[in-house]
Amino acid sequence: QALGLKTVPLRSAAPDRPTYLQRPDLGRRLDDASRALIEPRTPAEAAPDLAFVIADGLSALAVMRHAVPLLTALLPLLAAGASQPWQLGPVALVEQGRVAIGDEIGQQLRARTVVVLIGERPGLSSPDSLGIYFTWAPRVGRTDAERNCISNVRDAGLPPARAAARLHALLSLARQRGQSGVGLKDETDDTPDALSRN
């Protein structure tokens, strides 16, 4: 909210942390109450170009430390020099969410693109690593090959400002081509990451 963006608190279908860890499929879908919250929000004529999803994933610490700095760096890039300004949807704040929950949220909002910021599995030296995943034309059932990933976003890895610049370049390319996924990875220095970790 401090960035001037509307936020919507949502939950996945995983009711608690043990279920989230044992049933990854439930973390990929919204619960009924959350689905009802965003279903009527966006009429077709007001569909956003870009919707953000911030999910705790496997490291809430990563989200707390790096999501706002990344968006702070990204938003001016989206606003500057674009022949077509990016129309932004609300920011979904998701508890117990996994990467693919962005597909359902993007579909419900009728967003052209969804960007998911999510805490990655903590490592011994990186308890606060943030992952960025984006999908063009999100809808339930999109595959990992149809997404792009920027991983290890943290001060001691890929700093948020650099990650924002890389994400902006990829989003611009996706907009030109009308696609995301493996077709864009070949033209960036993005390091592929195992989507199943999140």
- pLDDT, one tens digit per residue, over 86-114 is 889 989 999 999 999 999 999 999 999 99
Provide the number of structural domains found in the chain. Answer: 1
Q: What is the domain-level CATH number for residue 33?
A: 3.40.50.11240
pTM of the entire structure? 0.88
Residue 17 belongs to a domain = yes
Residue 92 belongs to a domain = yes
Residue 34 belongs to a domain = yes
Band of pLDDT at residue 191, cut at 50, 70 and 90: very low
Mean pLDDT of 152-171: 94
* Residue 124: predicted pLDDT: 66
Range of the structural domain that residue 136 is part of: 7-197
* Residue 39: predicted pLDDT: 73
Quote the tokens at residue 85: 């300004």
* Rounded CA separation 61/66 (Å): 9
Question: Which residues, 6+ apart, have CB-to-CB distance to 130 below 8 Å?
Answer: 59, 62, 63, 65, 66, 67, 70, 117, 118, 119, 120, 153, 154, 160, 163
Band of pLDDT at residue 40, cut at 50, 70 and 90: low
